[in-house]
Amino acid sequence: MALPSDHDDFFTPRCIWVNGPVIVGAGPSGLAVAACLKEQSVPFVILEKADCIATLWQRRTYDRLKLHLPKQFCQLPNYPFPEDYPEYPSKKQFIDYLESYAQHFDIKPRFNECVQSAKYDETCGLWCVKSCSIKGVERGVNSEVEYISQWLVVATGENAESVVPEIEGLNEFGGRVIHACDYKSGKDFKGKRVLVVGCGNSGMEVSLDLCNHNAFPFMVVRSSVHVLPREVFGKSTFRIATFLMKWLPLWLVDKLLLILTWLVLGNTERFGLRRPSMGPLHFKNTNGKTPVLDIGALQKIKTGGIQVVPGIKRFSHGRVELVDGNHLYFDSVILATGYRSNVPSWLQESDLFSNNGLPNQPFPNGWKGKSGLYAAGFTRKGLSGASLDATRIADDIGQVWKEETKLKKRFIACNGRFISQF
């Protein structure tokens, strides 16, 4: 890579021409796209804000986390999990797998690169991705870089930043308040009364972990939720649903899943877990809310180890007023209120992505936009959806790449400055 000459203006952003696509995000989706591009012999650059791959898994997940689905449905393209891994790999095992994946395909992201904006230039038909080195900012120097490319792959995912809801009086609570992304283990809450806000997979697992560490968790269930067993008679519920979907319509699969759930878990509504009117698969496809796969929390709810409470009206010093009028006292609050996409904050585009940072087109059509723009990992189909996106993106770019490499190599000028190449 050639660097700008010494007499270049130090305060002017450096411009880098990327022969292949720019991939934003080095999580599982970005790594999968990179690996598939490697198979197509297409060069690329990965920009990652953090100093490691898969920052969500490495920095913002609790210690007891395991994959909710069998490993066969979670492996990335062209690289299976080790045979000795259990069916539901642990957090550490999955991180080790991702590290091994990056090493196997020789994927080397540019870490500590925070993308400020990405815009398509209609005049020259190229993407301009402006990035800033976090380490440079810390040193007080200008470290802006403009990456110029024909293609842009958005792989920052559906869970790029945590959601912290505005709840009246929360700043007056006085006790410890954290988001689930900062929760590691229940051992820090032993003997404490803890309010867990949220009843999705994270809320259920955090509550279970707190209970197992002799804390006293209360879980807020504000709306309806589908709770399914992770396994039915020794078989993965997800595997069963996938098999049935090959032969039966979605509405019938939903009915069969609910019957199986009733046989295994019984009636969950009598414990404060009201089900939506839609079936679990239809509800996920319509609202994007993944069913909770129970791994033991429901039994704790049945026996009183986890208390289910209704929605919150307001907080005050050390206590919470619920919508049913009850007042409860707590030592800590954990917000298991989910995550969201951060795409609208930096991508200047209105065709592929909607205002909520997710593709406008539902699966399986949300992976490709106009002018060389792609989305990986926004399918609401987990790791299997990200792998499918990666394969399609690499095939699409690879076809154009092979045609263009037959032409004479072009040299691009940007504001009269020398452009580095990757």
Query: Each residue of 53-66: pLDDT tens digit?
Result: 999 999 999 998 99
pLDDT band for position 2 (cuts 50, 70, 90): very low
Tell me: the pLDDT tens digits for 368-386?
Answer: 999 999 999 998 888 999 9
User: In angstroms, rounded to a whole number, what is the distance separating the alpha carbons of residues 16 and 110?
Assistant: 13
Tell me: the pLDDT tens digits for 313-327?
Answer: 999 999 999 999 999
Instruction: With CA atoms as reference, report the closest residue to 67 among 227, 295, 338, 244.
Output: 295
pLDDT band for position 311 (cuts 50, 70, 90): very high
The CATH classification number of 162-335 equals: 3.50.50.60
Equal CATH topology for 14-160+341-421 and 162-335: yes
The residue among 5 and 363 whose pLDDT is bigger is 363
Cα-Cα-Cα-Cα dihedral sign, residues 110, 50, 339, 384: positive
Tell me: the pLDDT tens digits for 234-243?
Answer: 899 999 999 9
Q: What pLDDT is recorded for position 312?
A: 96
Count the Cβ atoms, other than its own, within 10 Å of residue 90.
15
Strand pairing category for 14-17 and 22-24:
unpaired
Q: What pLDDT is recorded for position 411?
A: 46
Tell me: the pLDDT tens digits for 71-125?
Answer: 999 999 999 999 999 999 999 999 999 999 999 999 999 999 999 999 999 999 9
Q: What pLDDT is recorded for position 390?
A: 97
DSSP string, 101-160: HHHHTT---BTTEEEEEEEEETTTTEEEEEEEEHHHHHHT---EEEEEES-EEE---TTS
pLDDT over threshold 50, residue 416: no
Q: What pLDDT is recorded for position 143?
A: 79
pLDDT over threshold 60, residue 341: yes
pLDDT over threshold 50, residue 1: no
Average pLDDT of the chain, as a whole number? 90
Q: What pLDDT is recorded for position 362?
A: 80
Instruction: With CA atoms as reference, report the closest residue to 195 among 273, 296, 307, 63.
Output: 307
pTM of the predicted model as reported, rounded to 2 decimal places: 0.89
Q: What pLDDT is recorded for position 90?
A: 95
What is the rounded average pLDDT of the residues 129-155?
A: 84
pLDDT band for position 408 (cuts 50, 70, 90): very low
Instruction: With CA atoms as reference, report the closest residue to 182 among 331, 274, 356, 60.
Output: 60
Q: What percent of the chain has pLDDT over 70?
A: 91
CA-based diameter of the chain, in Å?
A: 75
Task: Give the H/E segment covering residue 305.
Answer: none
301 phi/psi in degrees, rounded to 5: -70, -45
pLDDT band for position 395 (cuts 50, 70, 90): very high
Tokens of 188: 């820090």
Count the Cβ atoms, other than its own, within 10 Å of residue 206.
28
Q: Where are the domains of the chain?
A: 14-160+341-421, 162-335
Task: Give the H/E segment covering residue 17.
Answer: strand 14-17
Residues 418, 3 contacting (CB under 8 angstroms): no
Q: What pLDDT is recorded for position 103?
A: 97
Count the Cβ atoms, other than its own, within 10 Å of residue 211.
23
For 175, counting Cβ atoms within 10 Å of its Cβ (0-12 exposed, 13-18 middle, 19+ buried), the class is: middle
Tell me: the pLDDT tens digits for 220-236?
Answer: 999 899 999 999 988 99
Architecture of domain 14-160+341-421: 3-Layer(bba) Sandwich (3.50)
Amino acid at 259: I
Q: What pLDDT is recorded for position 99?
A: 97
Q: What pLDDT is recorded for position 259?
A: 96
Classified as helix, coil or strand, 206 is: helix
